[in-house]
Structure 1
Amino acid sequence: MNILVVDDNPRNIQIVGNLLKEQNLKIAFATDGSKALELTREHEFDLILLDVMMPGMDGFEVCRKLRTDNRSKNIPIIFLTAKTDSASVVKGFEIGANDYVTKPFNSHELLARVKTQLELSSKRKQLDQLNRNLEKKVAERTIELANANRRLLRLEKSKSDFLSVISHELRTPLNTLTGITHLLQNTPLTDEQQDYLQAIELASARLARFSEMALLITSLQTGGQLPEMFDLKVNLLFEIAVFELRQAIEEKKIHTKITLPLEEIMLFGDAELIRKCLIILIENAIKQLPEGGTVMLEAAILPDNRINLHVSDNGPGFPADILEVFGETVPSRDNLVRNMGALSLTAVKLIMDVHGGSMKIENNPNGGAKVNLLFAGKE
């Protein structure tokens, strides 16, 4: 530890110096303020013992100058002073002193105060070093995160581009296949050939739906589809979805029931995205229902002003793996492969996320599946 002793009296310097050297401390000295300032510019000190009453530049002025210099502004300063009046003591602290010792000083008191300031100085330096290390680590981590984010964005773009290409590559042969199957429908076929044709049509429809769903999910995840928000009538949303699925509803003789409160419910959202939500949920219900089953569409305004749209049925309900999967943000790949319903429900959840809402799936106690779509109500 290096200590600078500043006093115009060589005798005082000698006494203080001998006392500190006994503690294995390194000592430098100056007999005036100018020399003290010069030494602090050339060397590093851990503590300064500064006499107040010196000719020319007194200790107060030296302290002021030390505190305005970046090289010395944090060095602890103990005033050595014969002035014991409160005004002088307060003045010393105001201009930057850390402590003071009155003359004539007691050697034990001086050493105790020196030790205290050196320990505090050491702790401050350690803290400064820790802060510098922390700032360095934060800067390094920030760079790592920025690089990782750039890589993630590139991967997201690659995924989006890949799915777009896959969708395009699927659509072209699918359109051809669909055209051929339509032509074959008007051609005399054996029962076995009719079965093959029906299998091809079902597989083509499944592939087309998978392609559309994958593109929708990618678009929602990457921000490629921003919602166009308008005030929408819930009854019209229900009626449009049911109308678009009328063929599938009629083929399985499905009963549809729409239940609305007397008061008209207006929903603030993207009409196209909400339409897709409802169609996905109704289609899923139809697929699981036996012939003659029922799909129920209901809407209600909750006490907290949120709007709840729910689609339910009297079918077998959700399988356990689907209920488990949608406790997560995104279904696992295995579940997606096993169940197209998981992929479509992922799309619904992402659409609700875009609207700042939420999706909840459950099985009714008396049988059947139920999906709740919760939208924020107007303020």
Structure 2
Amino acid sequence: MLNLQENSLILIVDDTITNLEIISDALTNAGFSVTTARNGEKALQQIQDKLPDLILLDVMMPGIDGLETCRKLKTDPLTQDIPVIFMTGISDTETKVKGLSLGAVDYITKPCQKEEVLARIKTHLQLRYLTKTLEQRVAERTSELSQALKDLQAYQLQLIQKEKMSALGQLVAGIAHEINNPVSCIHGNLAHATNYFNNLMNIIDLYQQNYPEPVAAIQAEIAETDLDYMRSDLPNLITSMKEGVQRIRNISTSLRNFSRSDQDRKVFCNIHNGIDSTIMILKHRLKASKIRPEIEVIKHYGSLPSVTCFSGQLNQVFMNILTNAIDALEESNIGRSYSEIEQHPNRIWITTSLSENKQNVLIRIKDNGVGMSAEIQQKIFEHLFTTKAVGQGTGLGLSIAHQIIVEKHQGKLDVYSVPEKGSEFTITIPIH
């Protein structure tokens, strides 16, 4: 058990030398460290050099009396927790109540009895020690609970992110597979269709060369179908179909690239392929509509090496940031006409480069949307924080993005924004 006498310093404040000597000797013999002061002014000065664990304070003293000294002690954050025990020969209730209301913990009536003084001092030192210990334990427990909450939130984010990527990966992989089969069939058959058409045209040419004057029914059918236009336009139709099929194949490839199942290990990946795949998937939100022109995506790609990363998760970060940029642009369009938006078009700039030390890849995604206030920027990566209406945002997107970049890739995700001017997110990822 803690020996309070060996570890405690007692300050005795009394203008009577005899009282100081008697109480000081008693406390010293009991094992306490003792310091003394003859008045309130000197006591306050001494305390600035070394804080006592308890103060025995005479009420009636010249200059600053004990009550005023106690008031000063209790208004100073440095000394307000030190127990003060008044020593007084006055026994009226009013003085005692006033002293206790100022923050004193007890009274000792003069002439002081040694056993009583020691008993009261030990009691209040023990109470102070227990209070301090309890406060420390509460602070430690609060810190532990706070850390546990943070760990739980981080774990929840990991589960949500993992489940989302797993479900998305399976869905997208299934869609890409289902698309690939018919598209490959169409793509392969278009080449045969072109050959068949050319063969039919050759046969028609031979008929026209050898039978330049067909019967009336054939001439009428040729006129009805406009054979010359058909033979000139059909190649264009087949070319358009080939381009459409190739676009579907590109989308399918983008879907597969976007949803790569690499949660358990890092792989070498091309950052630009991930960004392009994400833009391809978001194409439907970028194209023009009845209320606004197309959102322009301006890319300034630097020369980047392959990066060791969780590419599927990194693509999710691009998706979250680009989706937020589109949302910010659409919000900025509220109240603006189509022509007004044309004059000040919606734009997203994507810039990639290497850091000065060539150790990191920098990806900047900037928009000219509504922007954010400084208060929102401080909270933007917090768990469940969202500025969107109920049902439109979960508050998880940027929180998960921050976790992916900072914890999974040991990188940084920063934001700089000005209200009504737009926002810029900067992703920093170590190359290895």
Task: Please state which band the TM-score falls in when normalised by the shorter chain.
Answer: 0.3 to 0.5
TM-score (structure 2 length as normaliser): 0.39
